[in-house]
C-alpha cells in the first residue's frame, strides 16, 4: 500500500478520526496473512460479525474462527474492546454521587453489561449518604444459590463499611423480568442484611438496554 494509505501512518498524519473501523482494527492486528493484507483481514472480521459493536461482544474462541486471526490477535482485540467498555463506564462513574433512583444505577451499568454473554452478579456498596463507595463482581455464570451466597456479598459490604447495598446482575437472554431464582436469592440476601443491619436498597436486573428494579416493582 502507498505509505499514506497504511493505517498507522494515516493515523499519525491525519488523526484517528480519519480512519475507518477496518483501518483501526488493522492497527491492532498489525499483520495480515499469506494472500491477505491486514486491512483485508480486518474487513473480513467486520463482514463476518456485522459491525464493530457485535465484534466487541465475541469471545476469543469465536474470533479465532476468522481466517487470519490467531490467539494473539484475538487477545489483542478483546483487550482493546474491554478497555473501551471500561472507559465508557468510568466516564459515567457515579462515585461520590448520591443515588436517588434505580435509573441512575442502570444508566451506568447498561453499557458495561448489555453485550455480556454470561450472567454477572455485582454488589454495590453505599455509605450513609447513599453514595457509591465500592462495587464488586461476586460471581460469573448461571445465577443460583451455589455461586451467589450472602457471606460473599456481605464480606464486601462489611470490608467497605457499607450502610446499605444494591444487588445488580444481567440477563443475557434480553428478558429483564426476575426469575424465581432471582427472587429467592434476593430474599435470602435481604434477610441476612436485616441481621447484619446492612439492608438491600434494591436489586436491579440489566437486559440489553432495559432494566428492572425490585424496588420499583415492589418486590423488595
DSSP assignment of 77-107: HHHHHHHHHHHHHHHT--BTPBP--HHHHHH
d(CA 46, CA 25) in angstroms, rounded, equals 9
| Each residue's pLDDT tens digit, 165-220 | 999 999 999 999 999 999 999 999 999 999 999 999 999 999 999 999 999 999 98
Rounded to whole angstroms, what are the CA distances from 142 to 82, 118, 147, 185? 22, 7, 8, 13
CATH of range 3-86; options 1.10.150, 1.10.3470, 3.90.320, 1.10.10? 1.10.150
Residue 146 has pLDDT above 50, yes or no: no
Residue 91 has pLDDT above 90, yes or no: no
Q: Which three cell numbers stand for residue 80?
A: 482493546
Residue 72 has pLDDT above 50, yes or no: yes
Residue 145 has pLDDT above 50, yes or no: no
Note the CATH number of domain 92-213: 3.40.140.10
Q: What is the pTM of this model?
A: 0.62
Domain boundaries, the chain: 3-86, 92-213
Q: 37: how many CB neighbours lie within 10 A of its CB?
A: 15
Amino acid at each position: 500500500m502507498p505509505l499514506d494509505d497504511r493505517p498507522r501512518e494515516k493515523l499519525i498524519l491525519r488523526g484517528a478520526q480519519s480512519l475507518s473501523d477496518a483501518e483501526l482494527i488493522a492497527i491492532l492486528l498489525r499483520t495480515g496473512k499469506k494472500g491477505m493484507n491486514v486491512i483485508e483481514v480486518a474487513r473480513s472480521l467486520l463482514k463476518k460479525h456485522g459491525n464493530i459493536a457485535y465484534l466487541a461482544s465475541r469471545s476469543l474462541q469465536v474470533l479465532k474462527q476468522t481466517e487470519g486471526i490467531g490467539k494473539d490477535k484475538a487477545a489483542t482485540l478483546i483487550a482493546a474492546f474491554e478497555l473501551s467498555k471500561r472507559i465508557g463506564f468510568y466516564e459515567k462513574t457515579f462515585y461520590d454521587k448520591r443515588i436517588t433512583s434505580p435509573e441512575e444505577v442502570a444508566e451506568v451499568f447498561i453499557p458495561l453489561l448489555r453485550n455480556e454473554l454470561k450472567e454477572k452478579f455485582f454488589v454495590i456498596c453505599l455509605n450513609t449518604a447513599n453514595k457509591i463507595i465500592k462495587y464488586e463482581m461476586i460471581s460469573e455464570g448461571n445465577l443460583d444459590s451455589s455461586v451467589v451466597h450472602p457471606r460473599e456479598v456481605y464480606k464486601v459490604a462489611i470490608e467497605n463499611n457499607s450502610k446499605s447495598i444494591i444487588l445488580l446482575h444481567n440477563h443475557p437472554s434480553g428478558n429483564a423480568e426476575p426469575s424465581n431464582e432471582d427472587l429467592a436469592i434476593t430474599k435470602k440476601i435481604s434477610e441476612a442484611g436485616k441481621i447484619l443491619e446492612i439492608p438491600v436498597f434494591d436489586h436491579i436486573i440489566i437486559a440489553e438496554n432495559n432494566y428492572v428494579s425490585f424496588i420499583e416493582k415492589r418486590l423488595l
